[in-house]
C-alpha cells in the first residue's frame, strides 16, 4: 500500500495564548516525530513565534507545516495586531478576544474540506470545532491546557456543587468524590462558578464545557506517574477517554529549541547561561509568574525587598504593563547595584525551560500555571506556590499536599490580571523562599522533586507511559481511518 495513503494527518488548532500554544506546538512536533503528517492552524503573527522551530523540524525530516488565517481584529473590535490573549489589557478586550474565536469556524472548516485530516486536536475555546469535526466525520480531541486533577475537580464541582453550600467566600468545603481530600473555598474559584445570573462569560463557559463533554476524548499534557489516581478517576468516574502524552516540553532537547520556545527571550540565552554557569548546583531560585500576569508596582516592591533580604541567588522575570508609566518605579533604591551579581532580572520574556533545566537552578517560585508546574516537575525542582487565577489553586494542591514538593506562599483569593492590591507581603515571601532552599525539609522536598523529574523523563522515552499512550492513540486513529475508508 502507498505509505502516504496510510499516513495519519492530524490538525492542531491551538488557542492563541502562550499557555496553550506552546504546549500544543510541542505536542504537534511529538506527533510528527511518530510519522504523523501534522498541520498547525494559526494566525500570521502567532505563526512567527514558532515558525523557525517548525522549519528546523521539517529540515530534519518531519512532515509538519503551518497554515494561517487572518485574525479578525477589525470585526471583533480589537486593535490591529491583537492576535494573542497575552496582548489583551482589560477584561473587555479579553471578552472580545474570546468572542472572536467563534469567527474562525468558517476558515478552519474550509481548510479541513481541502486537506481531509483524520483528527482535529483543538483548544477548549473553539467550542464550534465539535460540530465541524462531526460534519466531516472525524474525531475531535479536546486540549484544555490543564492536568487531570483540575479537570476531575471541575467535574465534581459541577456534579455536587459544594461551593453553593457554604456561607461565605472563605469558608472551606471538601470537593466530594475525588481520590484525595481536597479543600477549596469560593474565593479561590473563578467568579463564574458563583454568578447567580447568566452572564456572557457563564454562557461561553457552558458552551466550552458542552464541547469538551461531546468530544471524542481529551488529550492532556501530563504523565501517568504524576497523577495516576486522576487518570483513573477521569476514565472511570468522569467517564471520558483520555490520552496523557506529556511532559511535552521535554521534546526540546537542545538549548536553541529551549530558548526559542514561545518567543525569542528578552535576555539572550547566552547571557543567562553564562550567569548560571558561575553558580553552584541547585543554588538559584527562578521566579516567574507565567505569560499573562502583570503585578502592581506595590507587589513588585514586596518581592524585591524579600529577595534582597533572603540572601538567595535568583533569576526573576518581571513583566509590567507596557502602558504603565510607573515602569521600574517599584525598584528599591540601588536594588540592582546592591545585588552585585546575586540576582538577574529579566524584563519581558525568559527562556524558562532553559533556566529550569540548568543544574544551578534549585527552586522555582511559580504561579502554578499547568505548563510551569510540569516544567518545574520535569526539571526536578521544588516550588513555592503562588497561584493567581484559572485552575492554579488546584495545581497548588497537587504540588503541596499530594506530591509534597511545594511550599505555599499563602494566597487566599483569585486575583484579576492587573491587580492593584498587595496580596502577599515581603515576610511571607521571604519565609517561603527560605523554606524552599534551606534546611532538612528543603532537602527532602528536593529528593522527591528529583525522583519525579526522573519519572517525567522516563514517561516520554520509548516504552514510557506517555509514549505508550501516544502510540495507542495513533493506533486507534489509524483503525478509525481504515474503517472509514
Residue 281 CB, shortest distance to ligand UDP, in Å, is 22
d(CA 471, CA 385): 34
Residue 28 CB, shortest distance to ligand UDP, in Å, is 15
Residues 219-258 as x/- pattern, contact with ligand UDP by CB under 6 A: ----------------------------------------
Q: What residues have CB less than 8 Å from 308, skipping those under 6 apart? A: 332, 335, 338, 339
Considering the complex, state which of residue 314 and residue 370 has its C-beta at the smaller distance from ligand UDP: 370
Q: Is residue 352 part of the contact set for ligand UDP (CB under 6 A)?
A: yes
- Contact predicate 231/6, CB 8 Å: no
The candidate with the shortest Cα–Cα distance to 140, out of 246, 325, 13, is 13
Residues 307-336 as x/- pattern, contact with ligand UDP by CB under 6 A: ----------x-------------------
Q: Is residue 261 part of the contact set for ligand UDP (CB under 6 A)?
A: yes
d(CA 12, CA 196): 35
Residue from the set 16, 66, 220, 288 that interacts with ligand UDP by CB under 6 A:
288
- CB closest to ligand UDP, residue no: 19
The conformation of residue 362, written as its DSSP 8-state character, comes to E
Region for residue 345 given its phi and psi (left: phi exceeds 0; alpha: psi -120 to 50; beta: otherwise): beta
Strand order in the sheet with 217-220: 64-68, 37-42, 9-13, 119-123, 140-143, 217-220, 242-244
Binding residues for ligand UDP, total number by CB under 6 A: 19
Q: Is residue 291 part of the contact set for ligand UDP (CB under 6 A)?
A: yes
Residue 443 CB, shortest distance to ligand UDP, in Å, is 26
Residue 449 CB, shortest distance to ligand UDP, in Å, is 17
Residues 371-410 as x/- pattern, contact with ligand UDP by CB under 6 A: xx--x-----------------------------------
Match 548546583 to its residue by C-alpha cell. 281
Q: Is residue 369 part of the contact set for ligand UDP (CB under 6 A)?
A: yes
Q: What residues have CB less than 8 Å from 222, skipping those under 6 apart? A: 147, 148, 231, 244, 246, 247, 374
The conformation of residue 165, written as its DSSP 8-state character, comes to S
Residue 18 CB, shortest distance to ligand UDP, in Å, is 5
Task: Give the other-Cβ count within 10 Å of 196's Cβ.
Answer: 7
d(CA 327, CA 471): 49
Q: Is residue 19 part of the contact set for ligand UDP (CB under 6 A)?
A: yes
Residue from the set 370, 386, 393, 414 that interacts with ligand UDP by CB under 6 A:
370
Binding site for ligand UDP (CB under 6 A): 18-19, 22, 261-262, 288, 290-292, 317, 349-350, 352-353, 369-372, 375
Amino acid at each position: 500500500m502507498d505509505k502516504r495513503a496510510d499516513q495519519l494527518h492530524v490538525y492542531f488548532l491551538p488557542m492563541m495564548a502562550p499557555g496553550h500554544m506552546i504546549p500544543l506546538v510541542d505536542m504537534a512536533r511529538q506527533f510528527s516525530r511518530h510519522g504523523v503528517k501534522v498541520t498547525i492552524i494559526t494566525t500570521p503573527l502567532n505563526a512567527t513565534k514558532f515558525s523557525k522551530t517548525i522549519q528546523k523540524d521539517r529540515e530534519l525530516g518531519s512532515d509538519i507545516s503551518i497554515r494561517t488565517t487572518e485574525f479578525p481584529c477589525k470585526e471583533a473590535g480589537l486593535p490591529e495586531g491583537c492576535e494573542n490573549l497575552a496582548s489583551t489589557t482589560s477584561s473587555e478586550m479579553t471578552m472580545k478576544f474570546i468572542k472572536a474565536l467563534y469567527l474562525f469556524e468558517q476558515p478552519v472548516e474550509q481548510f479541513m474540506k481541502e486537506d481531509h485530516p483524520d483528527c482535529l486536536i483543538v483548544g477548549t475555546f473553539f467550542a464550534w470545532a465539535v460540530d465541524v469535526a462531526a460534519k466531516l466525520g472525524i474525531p475531535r480531541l479536546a486540549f484544555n491546557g490543564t492536568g487531570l486533577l483540575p479537570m476531575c475537580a471541575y467535574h465534581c464541582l459541577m456534579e455536587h456543587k459544594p461551593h453553593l453550600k457554604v456561607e461565605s467566600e472563605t469558608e472551606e468545603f471538601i470537593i466530594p468524590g475525588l481520590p484525595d481530600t481536597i479543600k477549596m473555598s469560593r474565593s479561590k474559584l473563578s467568579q463564574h462558578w458563583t454568578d447567580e445570573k447568566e452572564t456572557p462569560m457563564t454562557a461561553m463557559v457552558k458552551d466550552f464545557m458542552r464541547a469538551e463533554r461531546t468530544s471524542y476524548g481529551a488529550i492532556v499534557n501530563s504523565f501517568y506517574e504524576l497523577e495516576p489516581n486522576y487518570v483513573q478517576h477521569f476514565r472511570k468516574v468522569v467517564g471520558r477517554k483520555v490520552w496523557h502524552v506529556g511532559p511535552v516540553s521535554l521534546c526540546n532537547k537542545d538549548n536553541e529549541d529551549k530558548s526559542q520556545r514561545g518567543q525569542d527571550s528578552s535576555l539572550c540565552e547566552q547571557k543567562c547561561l553564562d550567569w548560571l554557569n558561575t553558580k553552584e548546583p541547585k543554588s538559584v531560585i527562578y521566579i516567574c509568574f507565567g505569560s499573562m500576569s502583570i503585578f502592581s508596582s506595590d507587589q513588585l516592591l514586596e518581592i524585591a525587598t524579600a529577595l534582597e533580604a533572603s540572601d538567595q541567588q535568583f533569576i526573576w522575570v518581571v513583566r509590567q504593563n507596557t502602558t504603565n508609566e510607573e515602569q521600574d518605579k517599584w525598584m528599591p533604591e540601588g536594588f540592582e547595584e546592591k545585588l552585585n551579581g546575586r540576582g538577574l532580572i529579566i524584563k519581558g520574556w525568559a527562556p524558562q525551560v532553559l533556566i529550569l533545566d540548568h543544574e544551578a537552578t534549585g527552586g522555582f517560585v511559580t504561579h502554578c500555571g499547568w505548563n510551569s508546574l510540569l516544567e518545574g516537575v520535569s526539571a526536578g525542582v521544588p516550588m513555592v506556590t503562588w497561584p493567581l487565577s484559572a485552575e492554579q489553586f488546584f495545581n497548588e494542591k497537587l504540588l503541596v499536599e499530594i506530591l509534597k514538593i511545594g511550599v505555599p506562599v499563602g494566597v487566599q483569593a483569585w486575583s484579576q490580571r492587573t491587580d492593584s492590591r498587595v496580596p502577599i507581603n515581603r515576610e511571607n515571601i521571604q519565609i517561603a523562599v527560605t523554606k524552599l532552599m534551606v534546611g532538612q525539609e528543603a532537602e527532602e522536598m528536593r529528593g522527591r522533586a528529583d525522583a519525579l523529574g526522573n519519572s517525567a523523563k522516563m514517561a516520554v522515552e520509548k516504552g514510557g507511559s506517555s509514549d505508550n499512550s501516544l502510540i495507542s492513540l495513533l493506533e486507534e486513529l489509524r483503525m478509525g481511518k481504515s474503517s472509514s475508508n
